[in-house]
Structure 1
């Protein structure tokens, strides 16, 4: 087994004062030499020490991988399962405002105490024997899985990080594996060749278990891996389908016994319908007897922050690659804007800004470029240059998303709209700015009442 020692390995587990959640997160960020270190050997060893590999995590486990659509698929799975009376645990990443967002139990964010206990258990396990170094994501994943295992919910929903085969989530066998979409993203880790990316995503599938393929345009490698494993494939457009307009569509699929199921009059969830259809099929294969009334109610009420999230005339979407931007453009084209639609765009340096801009250029009238911080940062000036090089007007450059939002808020007309996109970091900062501004307004209204 390969391990990497660091300064924290020999430090006592307890401090003079108990560590807060922020203390733990800071510690985890520092304790591994790199932020992303794909591989299962280290995390599986700590998982075994925690007892996670010895017994089922939940009644059923559904693992969701893919380039785009993971978050929306998991959100709809959670809403559908809870509408059918199941207890649920959901692990997703990254978060927008609070780390607590990553672990949800029966629809509620985990509290600080629960997360801290999970980190303490992981820390004890990684030091129980030869010390094993874990990344921030690996430690967080193990802590979440340990917390879920203590509760044994009916259904655990696990969202893969950036990969699949070598992602920390994949130390557990899923009862149902889902691959939503495959597109180019995270090229530094997954490469730029779609067939290779598809093989990595398909690494979450298991022999003899259902494999739900949520796009008709997946690379052949995904189906190839499923066939090699002997997974039971259920592909969108072949074994299940969705038809009709978004506000009244229908779904046809099959349960785990092969019986045909049809649901009609389904509402628009405000999220991709392919992902909604995929969630329905995955849940049916997990043994849930789908009931039309429960499904309609769940899809009507499901919410996912940062995905086509409207706050007044501001739309926030974390889309950060051309595939996601193309979907976003399609949805915005269905919603004509009487004024200007202004894009507030902030992107990391390793993302395909040209492809995102091209996809959105027909539905955005002008842009505000904003800078992001960190080692992968792209400046507002660099992004403005990319926009202007393809003839897109730039109204303003701001050092940060919050600064860009503040400038833009003062310039908007009554009929104007704002699209905030390009990165989780961009959306998170603007969402925090929005909440802070709303709180200040509420405070002033109370003070002046």
Structure 2
């Protein structure tokens, strides 16, 4: 009997969520078998497009978005794959910076499902299915550049099916220890699994675990590290910054505009552009920096500030940015996963928060509002409201009322992609159900 496939994207996504017994199931064997059945161009010699793969604890999304914008400014046609999404699955798969259509995704899903089922069925996770869909769509496109963001770790992530021509590891810090290991060295080794023999790697942090450098040396990868082969420096007036690189050739850009996005990530994107040989002038680079924005990364919508910071490294950066802003009466909304280092996330932010609201999230992986409230209060924070409903609607109404009362000037939303997506959903007036953070 011929299989009956879903007719719309929402039904397909429901189908994907039921396919596999585990939400996160690292390993390449199953997904590689399906990729082979689809005859996807996984090796460099099988495709015309350049591939840049991005791994790291934090900074992947902003570095990818900036790199994409630089490539487009240089005249490249781009294809990008990121995860998770905020409001629409299509955000994950983009051509020339625009989400692809439902029809294109559904067509890719049909091809994958046919390949998955025959000759013998192979189980795929939601993320594996989504990754294959991106590769199917990119393979049929005329893109010059594929930008692929690793979902979790690197070595065993489905994105690592593809041989990369140029890799970047943005940062390595403690997160997802249950899957990646308990130390920075162990996590670094997992992320370094995306490296390929002789292919360049950009390291977007001044401090990298020895395991990353060791893997690069063993594979003969040319290394371009922040603080060594390239550098950035803020001007004394703090209104501009400069970037310079020693390799692949000496290059320097002065008086670049300040961005809400981290300078380390801006500098890393410029190094990727230099290694790719894109021809860009000062005006083009400055325009990219001025205009590039990223959902959920220091994103300001009126009195709302949204940031997906969900581990200590990201929380320290967020606290640094808050310390540089004008003092305000700031209300924080926190929703977080149960496996996070909550104390490590909360401690750097406590001095910059006047009061707290905590919320449940629509996933079994999340902390309850009561657990979050207990943690905040244990560290000395004042909790005004516990949102127990998964939709976040009551929490949103409470936050709006607090802003309208004049008691608070700003609401900081952070702790998880889910938390940010939940509030974006209500801020946008969307009627669609929030399901953004399914990996």
Same fold (TM over 0.5): yes
Please identify, of 56-65 and 218-227, the stretch whose mean Cα deviation from structure 2 is larger: 56-65
Higher relative contact order (CA 8 A, sep 6+): 2
| Among candidates 173, 178, 190, match of residue 168 of structure 2 | 178
Structure 2 match to 1:420: 413
Asked whether 1:346 is paired with 2:345, we answer no
Is the 8 Å Cα contact of residues 61 and 176 (structure 1) preserved in structure 2? yes
Is the 8 Å Cα contact of residues 71 and 159 (structure 1) preserved in structure 2? yes
Q: Shift of the alpha carbon at 1:13?
A: 3.0
Asked whether 1:386 is paired with 2:375, we answer yes
- Secondary structure in 1 matching 2:332: strand
Structure 2 match to 1:397: 386
- Secondary structure in 2 matching 1:151: coil
Structure 2 match to 1:6: none
Asked whether 1:429 is paired with 2:418, we answer no
Where structure 2 has 5 or more consecutive residues not aligned to the other structure, the ranges are 432-439
- Secondary structure in 2 matching 1:177: strand
Asked whether 1:408 is paired with 2:379, we answer no
- Sort the Cα spacing of 1:176 and 1:437 in 2 relative to 1 into closer, same or farther, 3 A: closer
| Among candidates 23, 36, 49, match of residue 11 of structure 2 | 23
The Cα RMSD (Å) is 1.6
Q: Shift of the alpha carbon at 1:152?
A: 3.3
Is the 8 Å Cα contact of residues 320 and 421 (structure 1) preserved in structure 2? yes
What CA deviation, in whole Å up to 9, does each residue of 1:177-223 have, x standing for no partner? 00000111111211221100000011111111110000012211111
Asked whether 1:96 is paired with 2:89, we answer no
Please identify, of 384-393 and 245-254, the stretch whose mean Cα deviation from structure 2 is larger: 245-254
What CA deviation, in whole Å up to 9, does each residue of 1:127-184 have, x standing for no partner? 2322211111001100111101111311111000011011101011111100000111
Asked whether 1:253 is paired with 2:245, we answer yes
Q: Shift of the alpha carbon at 1:111?
A: 0.8
**Partners in 1 of 2:47 and 2:100 — Cα distance?**
17
| Among candidates 263, 277, 280, match of residue 267 of structure 2 | 277
Asked whether 1:151 is paired with 2:177, we answer no
**Partners in 2 of 1:58 and 1:218 — Cα distance?**
32
Q: Shift of the alpha carbon at 1:12?
A: 4.0
Q: Shift of the alpha carbon at 1:290?
A: 3.3
| Among candidates 87, 95, 98, match of residue 105 of structure 1 | 95
Q: Shift of the alpha carbon at 1:280?
A: 0.8
- Secondary structure in 2 matching 1:276: helix
| Among candidates 107, 114, 130, match of residue 120 of structure 2 | 130
Q: How does 1:303-382 map to 2 (within 5 A)?
A: 303-338=293-328, 340-382=329-371
- Secondary structure in 1 matching 2:361: coil
**Partners in 1 of 2:421 and 2:369 — Cα distance?**
17
Asked whether 1:217 is paired with 2:210, we answer no
Structure 1 match to 2:132: 142
Is the 8 Å Cα contact of residues 348 and 378 (structure 1) preserved in structure 2? yes
- Secondary structure in 2 matching 1:359: coil
Please identify, of 80-89 and 371-380, the stretch whose mean Cα deviation from structure 2 is larger: 371-380
- Secondary structure in 1 matching 2:336: coil
Q: How does 1:278-297 map to 2 (within 5 A)?
A: 278-297=268-287
**Partners in 1 of 2:54 and 2:283 — Cα distance?**
25
**Partners in 1 of 2:414 and 2:232 — Cα distance?**
28
- Sort the Cα spacing of 1:58 and 1:107 in 2 relative to 1 into closer, same or farther, 3 A: farther
Structure 1 match to 2:436: none
Is the 8 Å Cα contact of residues 119 and 143 (structure 1) preserved in structure 2? yes
Count residues in correspondence. 423
| Among candidates 144, 149, 164, match of residue 154 of structure 2 | 164
